[in-house]
Amino acid sequence: MSNTGMNMRGKITFYEEKNFQGRSYECMSDCSDMSSYLSRCQSCRVESGCFMVYDRTNYMGNQYYMKSGDYSDYQSMVGMRDCVRSCRMIPMHRGQYRMKIYENENFGGQSHEMMDDCNNIMDRYRMNDCQSCNVMDGHWLMYEQPQYRGKMVYMRPGEYRSFRDMGMSGIRFMSMRRITDSCN
């Protein structure tokens, strides 16, 4: 049995200027639109928990994974522009991790069930693409390039029938990693 985020709290503070200066906005849960709180974000501090931050409202656009720590020059550290517009807290997961990946949309084509990280689906499974998945247990990050590089996407438990329909057309996911950080 898994325990996903029961009563777990996270805290992230965003700052308009580098080195934690200027106006700030503290967030302890999901926030779909931060644009009314800050005009830009150039540094942040994750006091507890793990978060995904997005450069567009409603958890859209480029995504970046943030775990506990200080990011004094956020822009240069993660390569994101200065416009964090939404953030989502990642609940802590205890238990097993399971995800089934599919070569084609709508759970078609070659498939493989994963329970651990995969740094290259081509090398491990002889798959040259992943267009849908079913996350049964745990929280995962999927990357567009092998070795956990390139754009990343946060996947929580659920069925993802078409990455293209989710606004991710043109992205080929080539590596996957479990979010195993303690996030506390």
Domain-wise residue ranges, the chain: 11-90, 98-178
Which band of pLDDT confidence, cut at 50, 70 and 90, is reported for residue 182?
low
Give the confidence band of 83 by pLDDT, cuts at 50, 70, 90.
confident
The CB density around residue 36, as the number of other CB atoms within 10 Å, is: 7
Average confidence (pLDDT) over 69-81:
76
Could you tell me the fold of the domain covering 98-178? Answer: Gamma-B Crystallin; domain 1 (2.60.20)
Please choose, from the candidates 83, 82, 54, the residue with its C-alpha nearest in 3D space to the C-alpha of residue 66.
54
- Top-confidence range, 60-64, 79-83, 89-93, 134-138: 134-138
Could you read off the pLDDT of 86-140 as tens digits, one per residue?
A: 999 999 899 999 999 999 999 999 999 999 999 999 999 999 889 999 999 999 9
Query: Mean per-residue pLDDT for 135-163?
Result: 95
The mean pLDDT of the chain is 89
Band (167; pLDDT cuts 50, 70, 90): confident
Question: What tens digit of pLDDT does each residue of 25-52 get?
Answer: 999 999 999 989 998 888 999 999 999 9
Which CATH entry fits the domain spanning 11-90: 2.60.20.10, 2.40.30.10, 2.40.50.140, 1.10.1200.10? 2.60.20.10
Q: Are domains 11-90 and 98-178 of this chain identical in fold?
A: yes
Q: Which two tokens stand for residue 57?
A: 């409202």
Task: Give the span between the Cα atoms of 96 and 178, in whole angstroms.
Answer: 10
d(CA 60, CA 168): 10
Under the banding of pLDDT at 50, 70 and 90, the label for residue 80 is low
- Answer whether 27's CB lies under 8 Å from 13's CB: yes
